[in-house]
Amino acid sequence: MKKLDILYEDNDLIVINKEAKILTISDQKGSKNLYAKVSLYVKKQNPHHKIFIVHRLDKDTSGLIVFAKNIKAKNILQKNWSMVKREYVAVVEGRPASSKMRLVNFLKETKTHLVYVSKTGKEAITNYEVMNTNGKYSLLKINIETGRKNQIRVQLSNISHPIVGDKKYGAQTNPLNRLALQANYLEFKHPITKKLMQFKLDIPKEFNEIVRGEK
């Protein structure tokens, strides 16, 4: 694992730019995960410091993730999580027929942890807008109204435009050797100070390159 990319830190929370191919947290002791790495970081500052999970990103998704540094901050953030503005960027295979769309589906999960679209289950709402395309690949800006497991990946696959590198959900290509999905914008009220917090990452260079046909 690389060195932690810390974008913001105070007494109540810490915002990290998560690399791809690392779990947010793991049930298995000793396995590499971001929670353990951040916990080690804060314990070096003070052995009594703790880290609390607020939300998660899929293992193969990179980008913005916030951890709480006390239980009060965790509870307030989670209670108001539906008010948090979250945006992603992704490269998908092909060119969506609609340049902008609101996807609404119900999702279920198999015993082997594969999420799929069903007539019943948990509602998932994903909005996308095409930012650039070369026909073979398209760069999308995405915001989500719900936070279901794998929802972006499943819903885009369901319209026959899986995310590049997402073999699990039907992608045929993996030119970037990673899942082309990044959580690149977070906006929320600070749980204690109530100050508006905004964090934005640049679109990964390789995302733009593949859509411009440079990869």
Give the span between the Cα atoms of 175 and 180, in whole angstroms: 10
For residue 145, the Cα-to-chain-centroid distance in whole angstroms is 13
Q: How far is CA 174 from the centre of its chain?
A: 19
Residue 53 CA from chain centroid, whole number: 14
Q: Is 5 a catalytic residue?
A: no
Q: Are 65 and 20 in contact (CB under 8 A)?
A: no
CB atoms within 10 A of CB 35: 17
Distance between CA 152 and CA 15 in Å, rounded? Answer: 22
Closest CA to 134 of 164, 114, 177: 164
Write down the catalytic residue from 58, 60, 166, 202: 58
Three-class secondary structure of residue 83 per DSSP: helix
How far is the C-alpha of 14 from the C-alpha of 65, rounded, in Å? 9
Helix/strand/coil for 85: strand
Active-site residue numbers? 58
